[in-house]
Amino acid sequence: MPATNDYQRIETIIRYLDAHHTDQPALDELAGLVGLSSSHFHRLFSSWAGVTPKDFLQCLTFADVRRRLKNGESVLQAALDAGLSGPGRLHDLCVTLEAASPGELKSGGAGWTIVAGFTATPFGQALLAEGRRGICELAFVDDGGETRAWKKLQKDWPKAEIARNDAAATGTAEKLFLKAPGAANLRAFVRGTDFQVRVWRALLQVPSNTVVTYGRLAAAIGQPRAARAVGSAVGQNSTGFLIPCHRVIRETGVVGDYRWGTTRKRAMLAWEACRISKSNRWGTKRRKTRRGISR
């Protein structure tokens, strides 16, 4: 099926690069895969990833993921040791996590109005829903999946009034995906067991450009033998990207499964890595420039 939007084009390229990265495919070859001219493709890809296709390829490699895994182990433990696992300042987007009470779970959203809509994101279309306590759903939707995603939202909140507002969803998505780290203050409202909530809180400690293993995440919440249960909790996260379950990988460094597709997970990891790298390079250039002026 030909690509119909920017993310589908990017996804096609990621799949191809995974299979042919040792061949170092040329720009013309990649552009032809998605039916674009070389110049158009270069602009599209650079705008999406923040770097050129050549630089992006480096962020897809096994070695890059292993390096970030090594960094992520210490970062997560340091954050938890510092007592940052509460609902205050959490990961780079300042996300506050609030858990539904037993009464709220039982009520099914009675008396609530949830504003929900479909919006474009760097990783394809998503259904984003927000209630009075925060974002309660962020699900990525492939072509033809809109009706199924909407029905799931209604099933999760059977007694709530759900009002469709695509513009509102787009506004929230822009805060999440397009603003600089630290610029967005967002709330995630989750429905889960005490164990699941502990896992999701720990996930919020994992910054962009780092990854952790299921086993390390289990140890971080004081349940070192519960890696399998942690994996299940990670998979039950209903607020994709906001609670960064895509940053959890296998002990071997293999990216592994993802609720919304392994390719999308790889795209998220590489996208974050490239943007952090670009930001760091830009900051270095600015510091050098300032020193030059001061002289």
Give the residue, 194 or 280, on which the prediction is more confident: 194
Q: 167: Cβ–Cβ under 8 A, 6 or more apart, which residues? A: 117
- Give tens-digit pLDDT for 125-171: 999 999 989 999 999 998 889 999 999 999 999 999 999 999 999 99
Question: Which amino acid belongs to residue 236?
Answer: Q
Torsional sign, CA 124, 129, 135, 138 = negative
Q: Which of 17 and 111 is assigned the larger pLDDT?
A: 111
pLDDT single digits (tens) 171-203: 999 988 876 444 467 899 999 999 999 999 999
Kindly give the pairing relationship between strand 113-121 and strand 124-131.
antiparallel
Residue 43: C-alpha distances to residues 4, 96, 120, 285 (Å): 17, 35, 19, 23
Write down the pLDDT at residue 88.
Answer: 31
Q: Residue 145 — left, alpha, or beta (φ > 0 → left; ψ -120 to 50 → alpha)?
A: alpha
Strand blocks (E) in the chain = 95-99, 113-121, 124-131, 134-140, 161-164, 186-190, 212-213, 248-249
pLDDT at residue 284 in the model: 42
Does the annotation count 245 as an active-site position?
Answer: yes
Under 8 Å CB-to-CB from 105, ≥6 apart: which residues? 191
Q: pTM here?
A: 0.80
User: Please, what are the domains in the chain?
Assistant: 6-60+255-287 (1.10.10), 65-249 (1.10.10.10)
pLDDT confidence tier of residue 78, bands split at 50, 70 and 90: low
Residue for token pair 């409202």:
189
pLDDT (average), residues 65-90: 54
Cα-Cα end-to-end distance for the chain: 58
Residue ranges of the alpha helices (H) in 221-261? 227-235
What band does 115 get if pLDDT is binned at 50, 70 and 90?
A: very high
Residue 144: the pLDDT is 83
**Locate tokens 């603003």: which residue?**
179
Catalytic residue among 59, 94, 136, 245: 245
Q: What integer pLDDT is reported at residue 293 of this predicted model?
A: 32
